[in-house]
Each structure stands twice: as structure tokens, then as C-alpha cells.
Amino acid sequence: MGVCVKICSITNLDDARAAMDAGADYLGFIGVPNTPRFVTPQTYLRIVRGLPDDAQTVVVVRDAADGLAYGANKIQYYGGSLIEIPAAVELIKVIRPRTQAELHEQLGAAPEMVVALVLDAYHETKLGGANKVSDWTLAASAVRLAKVPVFLAGGLTPENVVDAVRAVHPFGVDVSSGVELRPGAKDHDRLRGFISAAKGAL
């Protein structure tokens, strides 16, 4: 099977279907307002209605509770209180360590209810989609140390994903800008190339 692939920043049904047809395991939707790839709950629901019932969708938000408006059963989040989150919702925590010390700190702070982690590159102003390559040495440490599956994100492309997977051995890879024509619009050739390369890397 190879690694799992999450295609993030889906904004339309055509791209969602292309990703699924190419073998994507998860589709990510950005629920962070005032960002280039933001989709409203209404747009998200309209896209999901056009997908197979078994489509695995993930809503990416700044604070976990922001994902509740989407009705998604998987929420990828950066921070915020988890008090309001129903037990049925699967939580995926984003970590962005710059050093081994920060990695240990962020792994230790991850709530027990988190089912997976996304290791992304640190950026001073952007949460994600910055096309900045992660530190793969840190990522490999995260894979070894984490108690839950780890997705590798940050600057992945069809050209570097094989090297990334072989260096890190993550549970999955997460790509956004690396398969885009422009923010929010996927390049279907690069999409297919990325998924094929990732799944054939090991």
C-alpha cells in the first residue's frame, strides 16, 4: 500500500474527485478564514455531497472548535481548547518544531485524544501552504518517538516526495502547494505524479 496520502487545500469538487481517482487516502479542506485556500462550511458540504460515501475528509482549522461548524468527523488543528469537541471526532494535531527540544516538548504536550500528528515546517506568519520544506531529521525523530501515526508536511512535491518518504518513513504525507497551479487550484498531472511517487517510494 505504501504511505497514506493527504491532498490538502481542496476548494472544488473537480479537484476532490481527481485526487480520489488518483488514489488519495484523505482530502483536506482549509477552515481558516482570510487565507487563500479557505472554504466555508457551505462549500465544504457541497463538495462532500458529490463524493463517495467512504471519502475521508479532514477540516484544517486554527482552533479545534472552529471545525465543528463543518460537521466533519476529522479535524486537523493547531491549538485551542478541546472541551467542546465530541468524542466521535478524530483529532489530528499539527506540530511545527524547530529543534529536538521543541519536538520533545510538543510531543509531550499533545493531548491523549489525538489520533495522529502532522509535522509541518515552522513559518513565522503562515500556518501552512508556505512551500517551506520541513526538517526531515526532526520528522524522522517524530516518527520514532510519537505514540500515534505521523504525517509529514511542508514543501513536498512530486520531485522530492520519494526522498522524503525514504528519509522519514512517515505514516502519511500531506501536500498542498506542491501540486497546485495556483492557491486553491490543483494541477491534476502533478497530483497524479505525487500520489504515484509517494505510494511507490518504499
pLDDT at 2: 82
Pairing verdict, β 185-186 and 26-30: unpaired
Active site residues: 8, 120
Does residue 129 register a pLDDT over 60?
A: no
Which strand (E) or helix (H) includes residue 188? Answer: helix 188-199
Does residue 191 register a pLDDT over 60?
A: yes
Give the mean pLDDT of 32-52.
Answer: 96
Q: What's the rounded Cα separation, in Å, for the pair 24 and 9?
A: 13
Q: What's the rounded Cα separation, in Å, for the pair 52 and 22?
A: 14
**Domain, as residue range, for 195:** 4-199
Q: Which amino acid is at 6?
A: K
* Unique residue bearing C-alpha cell 458540504: 45
Give the mean pLDDT of 6-14.
Answer: 98
CB neighbour list of residue 147: distance below 8 Å, 6 or more residues apart: none
Q: Is the pTM of this model over 0.85?
A: yes
Q: Which of the two residues, 187 and 131, has the higher pLDDT score?
A: 187
- Asked if residue 95 lies in contact with residue 110, where contact means CB atoms within 8 angstroms, the answer is yes
Across 3-12, 88-97, 126-135, least confident range: 126-135
Residue 75, all three cell numbers? 479535524
What is the tally of structural domains in the chain? 1
Residue 67, all three cell numbers? 471545525
Identify the three-state secondary structure at position 79: strand
**CATH code, domain with 134:** 3.20.20.70
Identify the three-state secondary structure at position 70: helix
Q: Sorting pLDDT into bands at 50, 70 and 90, what band is 113?
A: very high
